[in-house]
Amino acid sequence: MPTRREIVQGGLLTLVFGTGFALSCACHAQAHRARHKYGCVLSPDDATLFMDERTDARLYISGNEPMIPRSGDRDFDLALAHTLAAVSEKLEALPSFAYYDDYDGANAYATPKVRMNNADGTVLFGQRLLSRLMSGTESPEVAVAAVCAHEFGHILQFKRGLDRVVGVGQPTVKRVELQADFFAGYFAGARKLERPNFPAAVFAMTQHSFGDNMVNHPGHHGTSEERGAAIAKGFEAAYREKCTLAQAIQISTNYVAGL
């Protein structure tokens, strides 16, 4: 009987290298998508605006794994497949994953909307965001992994109902977003234990760069300092304290409640 990791990793590698699909940009007229207040979390209704646009980048196959269109870089595709399998295992969350045309602003999203059999939700990664991150000079593929881990953190929240617990009564999405950052840091710490040379600091640098100072805006994700600190807290929970996921969930819930 194959393990969950073998199923996930095997499926992702098959989809990256064993399909004829390629990542392509939308060539049709691009409709305006209304901005919403939920940051990088999409409601099922909002998700339909992204998923129903018919491009190769949004095609899904029916099965146990999501389809990941090729980026055009074989080494990157291989690394991403392995990383997503590892994130899925550490966070015990298995979303479908696809790129989308983020023509209205570089971004990535997580949504509880299910577009793959047995998935826990869906993660959509913007093509422009991918290009932006991959143009960086400091381990760009790890920066991509940091964003993916953050979005998988949201999928964990949806699966366990944590977004409702930490977000109840809040005027902004900050607590929800910082808990997702904590989970990304938790993955980075677990990865560092397995691979001592893993540049975990890139996770903190990446999320730090996405901080904002719109503290009264409903979509406020946290300042740069708060986002970097949340990554560090998650990292410590895995790397120093060797916490289980259940323990990390409790620690993260208490942590963001105090912010």
Digit-coded pLDDT (tens) for 61-115: 222 323 446 666 778 777 787 899 999 999 999 988 888 778 778 889 898 888 7
Of 27-31, 158-162, 201-205, give the lowest mean pLDDT range: 27-31
Please calculate the CA angle 70-75-76 and round it to the nearest 5 degrees: 60
Q: Please answer whether residues 156 and 140 qualify as being in contact, where contact means their C-beta atoms are separated by less than 8 angstroms.
A: no
Position 38 scores a pLDDT of 52
The pLDDT of residue 8 is above 60: no
Strands 122-126 and 96-100: parallel
The pLDDT of residue 256 is above 60: yes
What is the maximal distance between C-alpha atoms in the chain? 51
Position 159 scores a pLDDT of 96
> pLDDT above 90 covers what percent of the chain?
54
Position 69 scores a pLDDT of 62
What mean pLDDT value characterizes the chain? 79
Say how many C-beta atoms besides its own lie within 10 A of residue 138's C-beta: 11
Q: Report how far residue 165's alpha carbon sits from residue 244's, in angstroms, rounded to the nearest whole number.
A: 20
Place of tokens 């409903």: 218
Q: Report how far residue 63's alpha carbon sits from residue 117's, in angstroms, rounded to the nearest whole number.
A: 6
Burial 191-220, CB ≥16 within 10 A → b, else e:
bbeeeeebbbbbbbbbbbebbbeeeeeebb
What values do phi and psi take at 161, rounded to 5?
A: 75, 20
How far from 16 is each of 90, 130, 144, 181, 230, CA to CA, in Å? 21, 16, 16, 27, 32
What values do phi and psi take at 53, rounded to 5?
A: -75, 125
Query: What's the pTM?
Result: 0.80
Q: Please answer whether residues 182 and 255 qualify as being in contact, where contact means their C-beta atoms are separated by less than 8 angstroms.
A: yes
The pLDDT of residue 127 is above 70: yes
The pLDDT of residue 29 is above 60: no
Q: Please answer whether residues 107 and 138 qualify as being in contact, where contact means their C-beta atoms are separated by less than 8 angstroms.
A: no
67 token code pair: 């389809």
Q: Report how far residue 234's alpha carbon sits from residue 190's, in angstroms, rounded to the nearest whole number.
A: 10
Which strand ranges, in their side-by-side order, compose the sheet holding 96-100?
Answer: 96-100, 122-126, 108-111
Position 73 scores a pLDDT of 75
| Average of per-residue pLDDT across 114-135 | 87
Q: Report how far residue 221's alpha carbon sits from residue 238's, in angstroms, rounded to the nearest whole number.
A: 23
